[in-house]
Every structure is written in structure tokens, then in C-alpha cells.
């Protein structure tokens, strides 16, 4: 089966630093894939290359059979790639509803070439807010919400785009234990319709959610496989898992 996403020899330099170093990567449609690794491993840079926020120094990115290496970020969104940031990027002065409405309007405008009706906009926003457990906070100003709820608003914005690939960067940061449990259920629900790629430091979340895990270290792929394989890999334990278990 043709992968949904592949990268070949993908690299990104920042001056003398090689943040991503020749990464070959393949993601199947419908998969939940986690990317883990120590701080500075190149995880956020790698997914930023996939979504088009930054350009690669070298290498190739193919999405659904199309070379998107030089495609600008807004066109990748139209192709079905949505990305939530490591640091929350909601519009703090707008309500949760209005934040998500921006994403719904963009999707429907791209699809139909005209502004959506009020009913279509309302339905699209509330569907995304309900899926993320935020329907009762629709009217709250985003900047007044807890950091964890702001993260969920951003996830709702991603969902509102109805992406084929949803990239989540540290999505459980700032969530309570109960909210994390709900988030695990949410990602499983999302995976019925979309492929999910997540960067996550919460290893219990990674181990219960991911079909496969890719471990980055110093910009390179250190290991890749099912959760139980990664957990038992001595190189991964030495580079990352041992460090996280010690705080």
C-alpha cells in the first residue's frame, strides 16, 4: 500500500547546526505515529518541514503521491495537512468559538469558493468543540482559558479543517490527568477519519496510543517500531527513556 507521507533524505541546517539530518520516514494512512526523543533531537523541526513552516536544506517530501517539498504551507493545508503548535497559538482576544470558526470558514471557503452560511459555520464549529470537550466553553475568551484548554482549542481548530493528516506537537502539555484520559480517547476517535502524527513527551500516552514510534536523536532516526520494541531497545533507553524515567 502506498504510504500517505514519505520523506527521503530530509535535512535542515541552521548555520552550522544540522537539526534534521537525512531522515527517511514513511507514514501509512490511518496510522497513529508518535515521534519521541530528547530535547534538541529535531522533532519539532522535522514536523515543521512536513507542514511547510520551514524549508528543507535538502531532501524530498511526498504526500499522497505528490511532491510537496516546495509547496507553501497554506497549500499543504488545502491538501489536508493540519498542524497544532508546540506553543499555543490561539487568538487570545477571540472566543473559543471564533477561533475555531476561522478554521471552519477557511475549509468551507476553499471547498466551495464562497463564504459558508451561518448554519454551516455553527455546525462545523460546534462539532469540533464537542469532540474536544469544549462545547460548554464556546463563548469563553480564549486568553482566559487554562493553558490546557487553550491547547484543546488549537486541536479543535485543526479538527475543523477535517485534515487527512493531523500533526500534534506536545498536545497533552498543560492537561490534567483526567483531561489526558479524554485526550487519548479523542485521538483514537480522530484516527477513524485521519492519520495522526504526534510529538509527545508523556510516555504512558505514547505507549497506549501509538501504532508505531519513531525515535529521533541528534536529527537522525535512532529507532523505529512498535511500542514494545521501542521500550526494549537498549539504544533508546540510553538516549531517551532512561533520561525521562529519571525526570
For residues 91 and 1, which has the higher predicted lDDT (pLDDT)?
Answer: 91
Q: How confident is the model at residue 245 (pLDDT cuts 50, 70, 90)?
A: very low
pLDDT of residue 115: 85
Residue 84 reports pLDDT greater than 90 = no
Residue 244 reports pLDDT greater than 70 = no
- Percent of the chain scoring above 70 in pLDDT: 95
pLDDT of residue 247: 37
Average pLDDT over residues 110-134: 91
Average pLDDT over residues 161-180: 91
Residue 159 reports pLDDT greater than 80 = yes
Q: How confident is the model at residue 70 (pLDDT cuts 50, 70, 90)?
A: very high
9-20 residue pLDDT tens: 999 999 989 999
Domain boundaries, given as residue ranges, for the chain = 1-80+163-247, 88-161
Lowest mean pLDDT among 19-33, 46-60, 88-102, 219-233: 88-102
Q: How confident is the model at residue 173 (pLDDT cuts 50, 70, 90)?
A: confident
Query: pTM for the whole thing?
Result: 0.89
Residue 229 reports pLDDT greater than 50 = yes
pLDDT of residue 246: 37
Average pLDDT over residues 197-205: 93
Average pLDDT over residues 65-81: 95
User: Can you give the chain as a three-state secondary structure string?
Assistant: CCCCEEEEEEEEEECCEEEEEEEEEEECCCCEEEEECCCCCCHHHHHHHHHCCCCCCEEEEEECCEECCCCCHHHHHHHCEEEECCCCCCCCCCEHHHHHHHHHHHHHHHHHCCCCCHHHHHHHHHHHHHHCCCHHHCCCEHHHCCHHHHHHHHHHHHHHCCCCEEEEECCCCCCCHHHHHHHHHHHHHHCCCCEEEEECCCHHHHHHHCCEEEEEECCEEEEEECHHHHHHCHHHHHHHHHHHHCC
CATH class in words for 1-80+163-247 = alpha beta
* φ, ψ (nearest 5 deg) of residue 30: 85, 0
pLDDT of residue 114: 81
What's the mean pLDDT when you consider all of the chain?
91
Residue 239 reports pLDDT greater than 90 = no
Amino acid at each position: 500500500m502506498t504510504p500517505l507521507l514519505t520523506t527521503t533524505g530530509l535535512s535542515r541546517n541552521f548555520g552550522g547546526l544540522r537539526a534534521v539530518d537525512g531522515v527517511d520516514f514513511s507514514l501509512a494512512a490511518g496510522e497513529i505515529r508518535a515521534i519521541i526523543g530528547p530535547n534538541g533531537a529535531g522533532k519539532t523541526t522535522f514536523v515543521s518541514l512536513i507542514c511547510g513552516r520551514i524549508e528543507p536544506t535538502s531532501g524530498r517530501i511526498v504526500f499522497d503521491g505528490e511532491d510537496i517539498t516546495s509547496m507553501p504551507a497554506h497549500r499543504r493545508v488545502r491538501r489536508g495537512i493540519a498542524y497544532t503548535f508546540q506553543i499555543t497559538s490561539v487568538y487570545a482576544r477571540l472566543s473559543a468559538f471564533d477561533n475555531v470558526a476561522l478554521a471552519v470558514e477557511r475549509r468551507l471557503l476553499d471547498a466551495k469558493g464562497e463564504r459558508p452560511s451561518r448554519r454551516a459555520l455553527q455546525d462545523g464549529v460546534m462539532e469540533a468543540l464537542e469532540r474536544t470537550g469544549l462545547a460548554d466553553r464556546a463563548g469563553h475568551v480564549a486568553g482566559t482559558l487554562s493553558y490546557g484548554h487553550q491547547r484543546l482549542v488549537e486541536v479543535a481548530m485543526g479538527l475543523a479543517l477535517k485534515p487527512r493528516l493531523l500533526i500534534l506537537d506536545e498536545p497533552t502539555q498543560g492537561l490534567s490527568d483526567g483531561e489526558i484520559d479524554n485526550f487519548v480517547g479523542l485521538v483514537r476517535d480522530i484516527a477513524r477519519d485521519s492519520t495522526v502524527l504526534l510529538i509527545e513527551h508523556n510516555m504512558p500516552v505514547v505507549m497506549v496510543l501509538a501504532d508505531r514510534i519513531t525515535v529521533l536523536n541528534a536529527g537522525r532516526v535512532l529507532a523505529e517500531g512498535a511500542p514494545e520494541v521501542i521500550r526494549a531497545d537498549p539504544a533508546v533507553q540510553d538516549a531517551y527513556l532512561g533520561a525521562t524515567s529519571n525526570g
